[in-house]
């Protein structure tokens, strides 16, 4: 069972900033972005369960409550459905508030969209992790007709994190193209800081638009309270930060 992947060292020519926190990858600076750490894979059910256990044990997450809806308990929407809850699958059914609270518990934060873009597309602005040719066998996606999921890639629903070896960014980050979409910190549109919507990046196991979905440049946005069986997240930290 994979809860936290091994540390993945990247770019030996980059300044030495210390080893990444466990399970995170260092993405070197490229102005205007500074260097940052990003989870190598999406947050799993196993790791999110630790957060829920901490809440039940009395952890006070007051630090993440600004603007949070009243009565939030951060339990996912699909906890009773075995299709989504294997320990090594990405947690789904969590909204933006849930993702932010989990990140704060770990001493981290949600990714900025610009960081997601940098981690996924590298220095060359690639549209796919491996280049330009579509490869439906290389990532966990759905299809553009009912029943919308597609087991031909090896997984009808979510896949174990990191199990698509070619869905790998230039910096060693996994599953940015497929498996589940991912919450980012940013409001949308950017000039609306009240956050009526929040940016979502990546594609997922459910549904597939051959023109738009298989592309690392695709952006969508959802209300921060939205929950879906195809939506998860991962965390980030400024380089030099450490988990508590």
pLDDT in tens, 62-82: 667 778 888 888 999 998 888
Report pTM.
0.86
pLDDT in tens, 80-104: 888 899 999 999 999 999 999 999 9
pLDDT in tens, 161-204: 999 889 999 999 999 998 999 999 999 988 876 668 999 999 88
Using an 8 Å Cβ cutoff, are 122 and 170 in contact?
yes
- Other residues' Cβ atoms within 10 Å of the Cβ of residue 123: 10
CATH top-level class of 41-59+82-131+138-232: alpha beta
Spatial strand order in the sheet of 109-110? 24-27, 36-39, 235-238, 109-110
């Amino acid at each position: 069972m994979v809860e936290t992947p091994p540390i993945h060292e990247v770019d030996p020519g980059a300044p030495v900033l210390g080893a990444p926190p466990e399970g995170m990858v260092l993405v070197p600076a490229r102005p205007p972005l500074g260097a940052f750490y990003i989870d190598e894979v999406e947050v799993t059910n196993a790791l999110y369960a630790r957060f829920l256990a901490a809440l039940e044990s009395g952890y006070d997450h007051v630090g993440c409550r600004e603007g949070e809806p009243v009565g939030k308990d951060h339990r996912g929407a699909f906890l009773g459905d075995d299709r989504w809850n294997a320990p090594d699958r990405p947690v789904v059914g969590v909204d933006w508030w849930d993702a932010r609270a989990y990140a704060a518990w770990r001493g981290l934060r949600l990714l900025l969209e610009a960081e997601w873009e940098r981690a996924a597309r590298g220095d060359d602005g690639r549209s796919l992790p491996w280049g330009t040719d579509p490869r439906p066998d290389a990532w966990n996606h759905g299809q553009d007709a009912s029943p919308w999921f597609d087991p031909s890639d090896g997984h009808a629903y979510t896949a174990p994190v990191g199990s698509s070896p070619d869905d790998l960014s230039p910096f060693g980050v996994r599953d940015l193209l497929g498996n589940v979409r991912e919450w980012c910190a940013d409001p949308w549109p950017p000039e609306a800081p009240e956050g009526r919507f929040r940016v979502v990046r990546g594609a997922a196991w459910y549904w597939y638009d051959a023109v738009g979905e298989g592309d690392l440049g695709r952006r969508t946005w959802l209300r921060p309270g939205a929950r879906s069986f195809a939506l998860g997240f991962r965390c980030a930290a400024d380089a030099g930060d450490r988990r508590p």
